[in-house]
Structure 1
Amino acid sequence: MPQKLVAKEFVEKAKFIPILDVRSPGEYKKGHIPGANSMCLFTDEERAKVGTCYKQIGKEKAVEMGLEFVGPKLHQFVKTAKKFAVDGEILVYCWRGGMRSGSMAWLLETAGLKVYLLEGGYKAYRNFVLSQFAQDLKLCVLGGKTGSGKTELLHVIKSHGHQILDLEGIAKHRGSAFGHFGMEAQPSSEHFENLLAKEILALDVSKPIWVEDESRHIGKVFMDVVFYNKIRNAPILFMDISVETRLPHLVKVYAGYPKEDIAMALGKIQRRLGGNWHQLALKALDVGDFAEVAKITLTYYDKAYMFGLHQRENPQIRPIEVNTIDPNLQYEAILPLIKEF
């Protein structure tokens, strides 16, 4: 008989035993437990048909329809599960911990596997995820205008033994209109939360955790409002770096991408830049003056960042002037302040 585990136990066991997500492909794509393997009981189309049948005709007929869809797949389910299983054990979940995961557990245990079920299903897991953001987190925010190299510095901070959460790394986006360049496809906001919760679970929440200063949205990803408010209310170490120091970094990061992509990104902030500045940026781009393009975009981004910085409800801003973009030298410069956080 399969053993049911609450979300915390299920996630802990997943460190050693593979997970099978038996929901539909669409459900899996929207968000899943990090590391879970999709082995859908129904396709998206099949799930829709079974659901419609359940609502319009009834449970009995819907179950019969589901069996018709699933029957030919049973052998492959067992083969796939045995391929993933470790020492004959496997974790299984569906949306609510109901018929789909229960049926799969029966099949796999009949085939000789030991199955652990997620009590309450993915829905319960999502509540567990959100509870990670509600707990007391000792966040310390690394601030700085666009092009300050905060992400690079964040990882240097980590290399010196401090805890970090790389929000942009998890979101697969650097945050600006140009932030998707060279990055993988972004996760959904829901799956971003799942990935973020996994990172938090690996940290000691009684100790400081460094994060970058971010707006609530990172590209197309929106942060959970509870977690975002914790960032907004946390103390911030603000690196004040001149435009002249930041420009070479921005050129190095973005100049290698196609001009067409850069022009499209400029179009996204055209209204914020203003028509004249937008046209000047396009002209500079056309002649390959990437430093001028970056300088023009910073007229908007610097103003927007400083406005957001001073809108914090409980400002605990510790500014420090830094004259380098080298993350190792930046770390040396801010180390006295880091020790105070």
Structure 2
Amino acid sequence: MSFDLPIGSLDEIEAIKRKNLPLTDAFRSIVLENRPLIDVRAPVEFEKGAFPGAVNLPLMTDEERRLIGIRYKEAGNAEAVALGKQLVGPHKQERVRAWADFINTHPDTWLYCFRGGQRSQIAQAWLEEAGIALPRLKGGYKAFRHFLMEESERISGEADTLIISGRTGTGKTLLIHRMENAVDLEALANHRGSSFGRHITPQPAQIDFEDRLAYALIRHEAAQHHHLVIEHESHNVGRLYIPKPVYDNFLEGGLIILTATMEERVDITFDEYVAHAMDEYRIMFPEQPERHWFDDANAGIDRIRRRLGDERFRQIKQLFAGAFAEQLRSGETEQHKPWIRMLLRDYYDPMYDYQIAKSPIPVLFRGNAGEVIDYVRSREDRH
């Protein structure tokens, strides 16, 4: 249900409309000023997708919205209006108080509903009665979302994109974090972009990922960088996907191949898959974090059994189980490096070499981390 459900009497709603409460469509400033937003949609709508920095302080609960929607369909607008007043009216003060409390700590807040219609107008009017003037987004969620998607496509199409590629464990993400002109797609998607790339915390909703990406691209453009640096990704990052027009624009860039020795790659992968992962598990699972980590990592190996083949799969599983047993016995984790080395050599490397051989993207440069940074800086300096 995407219409703005009515609350109050018809006369009250018309009176609110005549007030000409402040509207704004300064959408770019929301992004660049990191402006907080009050989303007055119902929680079920908010969970499907919301903007960075938005807080859900709904005008109606999910159940209130559901009941009013049913009445609207069955008996029309006037009856829905009457039910809305009956259900929500008694909660007016507590909802105004919640909005006011947030505004007191975030005085630059704006608010929105789905289309910038009745719900956000009512919220504005109630706040005005409490002595608080607050703009609402013109066109609401729908208009701001449309702006973000258009800007993502435009900026990605106009950007001079440099795509950092390289075998697993070369430290592509570490390199991205050292560059001011980079956008970290994996961080936006909360995923490491591999079979073992899951974080304990879930990935955002698809819509949230797209909005985060749009915010990042708008801010990147505003910083006036001459190049957009991203990590080489497939269309999907975990269960999320980069919008096709944006992804196609990214593919118009040039590849930079990051290189590293096998020992460097083993160390980097060990830090990511074992050391840093264990830190996450200790926070999320203070009781038996090692066991939770083992179960998830073991499931990751199981997911790639087909590609490994039975013999390599069996060897890696044995190495992994032995390393974990030693970890439990002594607390030592270095024994995980042999199975990581085998995973890199026998699983990731052949897959990467095949994919890069097929890639139509031109290779601009190859080098280690220091050489790549120097190359990218030299390109920036030439502008």
- Encode CA deviations 1:23-44: one digit per residue, 9 max, x unaligned: 1112212221211111012222
Task: State which structure, 1 or 2, has the greater radius of gyration over its C-alpha atoms.
Answer: 2
Asked if 1:78 corresponds to 2:96, the answer is yes
- 1:88 Cα offset (Å): 6.3
* Number of residue pairs the alignment of both structures matches: 327
How large is the RMSD of aligned CA atoms in angstroms? 2.3
Unaligned runs of 5+ in 2: 1-19, 279-292, 324-334
Identify the match of residue 143 of structure 1 among 138, 154, 165.
Answer: 165
Aligned to 1:274: 309
Stretch deviating more after TM superposition (216-225 or 2-11): 2-11
Asked if 1:311 corresponds to 2:311, the answer is no
The code of the aligned residue for 1:278 comes to F
Distance 1:14 1:253 in 2: 33
Aligned to 1:325: none
- 1:333 Cα offset (Å): 5.4
3-state secondary structure, aligned to 2:169: coil
Aligned to 2:375: 336
What are the equivalent positions in structure 2 for 1:1-341 lying under 5 Å apart?
A: 1-6=20-25, 8=27, 11=30, 15=34, 18-85=36-103, 90-135=109-154, 136-158=158-180, 163-181=181-199, 184-204=201-221, 207-256=226-275, 257=278, 258-288=293-323, 289-298=335-344, 299-313=346-360, 315-322=361-368, 330-332=369-371, 334-336=373-375, 338-340=377-379
Q: 1:229 to 1:309 in 2, by over 3 A?
A: farther
Unaligned runs of 5+ in 1: 323-329
Distance 1:250 1:129 in 2: 35
Distance 1:48 1:308 in 2: 49
Aligned to 1:326: none
- 1:337 Cα offset (Å): 5.4
Distance 1:13 1:254 in 2: 35
Q: 1:133 to 1:89 in 2, by over 3 A?
A: closer
Tell me the TM-score normalised to structure 2 length: 0.78
Tell me the TM-score normalised to structure 1 length: 0.87
- How many percent identity over aligned positions? 29
Distance 1:309 1:96 in 2: 45
Between Structure 1 and Structure 2, which shows a larger proportion of helix residues? 2
3-state secondary structure, aligned to 1:310: helix
Stretch deviating more after TM superposition (204-213 or 214-223): 204-213
Stretch deviating more after TM superposition (261-270 or 241-250): 241-250
